[in-house]
């Protein structure tokens, strides 16, 4: 187990909690898209951590590929929002 994987999981959880606290402090009931993205990233980090700790490298690589596809889709959506503004 690489200690970097543990640090990434902890950092993702801290970022998600911090983003949620900032938006709640502003008094907004609606959450921005970035909070949902961070939540999904935390779930992916937990899933990848479980696969890493279980030692099932084939499943870890499969989930990592799907997580990479999600991240690539989010970047494409971000670019599309800024290119095709209405």
81 has pLDDT over 70:
yes
Average pLDDT over residues 9-18: 73
Which residues span the domain enclosing 72? 3-83
DSSP H helix total and E strand total for the chain:
3, 0
* Lowest mean per-residue pLDDT among 22-26, 49-53, 73-77: 22-26
Of 18, 3, 84, the residue nearest 49 (C-alpha): 3
Contact by Cβ (8 Å): 68, 49:
no
Q: What spatial distance separates the first Cα and last Cα of the chain, rounded to whole Å? A: 47
pLDDT tens sequence across 38-60: 777 778 878 777 877 888 788 88
Q: How many domains does the chain have?
A: 1
Average pLDDT over residues 29-46: 74
72 has pLDDT over 80:
yes
pLDDT value of residue 28: 62
SS3 40: helix
């Amino acid at each position: 187990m690489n200690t970097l994987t543990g640090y990434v999981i902890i950092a993702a959880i801290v970022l998600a909690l911090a983003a949620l606290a900032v938006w709640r402090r502003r008094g907004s009931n609606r959450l921005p898209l970035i909070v949902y993205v961070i939540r999904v990233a935390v779930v992916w980090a937990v899933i990848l951590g479980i696969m890493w700790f279980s030692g099932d490298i084939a499943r870890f690589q499969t989930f990592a590929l799907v997580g990479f596809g999600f991240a690539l889709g989010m970047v494409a959506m971000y670019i599309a929002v800024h290119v095709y503004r209405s």
